[in-house]
Amino acid sequence: MPDDATSPAPRLHRRIGTRPMLAGASAITFLVGTAEASAPDSATQCRAMAEQHLPGARVIEATVVPAGELAVPGQAAVGDLPTLCRIQGVAEPTDRSRIGFEVWMPLAAWNGRIHMVGNGGYSSSIRYNLMGNLVRRGDVAVATDTGHVGDDLEFGFDNREAIADWGHRAVHESIRAGKALTQTYYGAAPRQSYFSGCSTGGHQGLTAAQRYPGDFDGIIAGAPGANRTNLNFGFLWQFLQNHAPGDNLNPILTRADLQLVSRKALRDCDGLDGVADGIVVDPRRCTVDLADLRCRPGEEAATCLTDRKISALSGMRQGARRADTGETIYPAWPVGSEYVEGQGLAEGWDVYWANPRKPDEPQRIDYFRRWSLNDPEWNWWSFDWSTGVDRIRAAMAPLTDAVNPDLSAFRARGGKLILFIGWQDPVVSAYDTIDYFDRVIDTAGGDVSDFAQLYLVPGMGHCALGGGATNFSTSTRNSMPLVADADHDMSLALERWVEEGVAPRRIVAARYRGSTPASGVELTRPLCPYPAVPVYDGRGDPALASSHQCRPPT
């Protein structure tokens, strides 16, 4: 998803007020404990960090941020912060690299952990609110701008080093600098290192596990857009299926059509799990006959689909395919993901079959036009879905993709990986994430539950929100767990797995009447480690997670 861009090391204005630490944050700190290393108490020591010499990187500025609220350009202010040492720096692994990074270090009560947060889309924007969540509970927080400014793909035109920075180097170089600065500041190395992110952040997490298995002890990778080249083929396929040849301006299916299809899926499949709760638990069991939506004579087009629209939708439901062999390039998206109620910016397929800023061109077309082919005039209608696929994969996959199922090095050093994705995600297909995880299992020779888990979240759209129980992690956006413990917060569950060897058996997620627990809990549901699915026991209150058990799919 697009994000507003920020510069790598902006000079920010601060509005400071004295506020108590959040109760949830203090509860989390109590749960995980604190590090033995004592935190420095001098602002002078923080400012002295500006003189630190790092291999391949340099500190631009080191400042003390007093407890209170930090205003950041283009984003909501981050409040309730403890006093922290904020370091802004640049890593330069190549002559053409300028990877901006930030490291936030609490002046007191460091708990011994360092935790990096991921990015979204192709944006340079740092998720400062997630950094704030981390430092409130005593973590050192790290983030990067991925080596550029902005959220379009112009930065990669004729610059493969910039693409490599975005594709895999930025996170590695930033956490390496973050660890070095942490050790210098506190006089002790981090005891554990974590990464969490969704979408591109999930892509970054899988990249770390595959390319740099020593960077993190624990990784949360949500909705990973890691099959990046093929994902962009998927977007292009959707656009072409939804337009008459040569017509870039007039989509066949509209957002209203997608809503019609998605709502029919909910009507037809909501009760398959024995509970009518507005959630399709397992779209693999859901079949929607498009013929049921075909317009009858005299029927208003707003309540049905024409033959032309059914044909376009049927083409999309095949997934992107090669012209020569019929091989799937990128799988179709699950039934019910056509439109996600209440999702926000990424509500449905229409956001990712055309560029919202330039609706007459496919979404992410500059991945091909600017990055792969260096041809700003490339005509996507003439694309060869056989040899063209091979050509672009050869050019881009080594720089951007994270699809290697061999995680043996990460596993051997004790790393733990949690993947999650919403079943209704209209951006990254849940079937692609399942395919990757299945290949991890096959490559490892069987059971991987000692180090890797996948959670499929019913009713969730892209990374968050939607009609399901989607509040289960403080380390990802728009998610607020009901309870600050390892049974309800995926981030704490990962920490317990890494530090105590206790793997999650399930995560209890919540759906609220509003956006926070204070608005009231509508229902709770267990998120089950794949391949298990939640099954209602037929006896208890269907609104409670305790009435649903994780069982093998039928």
Alpha carbon separation from 427 to 235, 334, 377 (Å, rounded): 9, 11, 26
Tell me if residue 33 falls in helix, strand or coil: coil
Active-site option among 243, 462, 488, 548: 462
Exposure on the CB side of residue 168, measured as CA atoms within 13 A: 21
Active-site option among 123, 199, 429, 475: 199
Residues 196, 485: Cα–Cα separation, whole Å: 17
Clarify whether 199 is annotated catalytic. yes
| 8 Å CB contact between 232 and 364 | yes
Exposure on the CB side of residue 265, measured as CA atoms within 13 A: 26
Q: How far is CA 370 from the centre of its chain?
A: 24
- Pick from 328, 329, 353, 331: which is nearest to 258 by CA? 353
| 8 Å CB contact between 510 and 469 | yes
At a CB cut-off of 8 Å and minimum separation 6, what does 388 contact?
Answer: none
Exposure on the CB side of residue 10, measured as CA atoms within 13 A: 19
The region, left, alpha or beta by phi > 0 then psi within -120 to 50, assigned to residue 68 is left
Active-site option among 139, 151, 217, 425: 425
The structure tokens listed for 67 are 């407890």
| 8 Å CB contact between 103 and 90 | no
| 8 Å CB contact between 280 and 270 | yes
The structure tokens listed for 169 are 């180097």
Tell me if residue 456 falls in helix, strand or coil: strand
| DSSP-assigned states of every residue in 465-534 | -BSS--B--TTSTT---SSSSTTT-HHHHHHHHHHH----S-EEEEEESSSSGGG-EEEEEEE-BTT-EE
Tell me if residue 336 falls in helix, strand or coil: coil
Clarify whether 165 is annotated catalytic. no
Clarify whether 262 is annotated catalytic. no
Catalytic residue numbers?
199, 425, 462
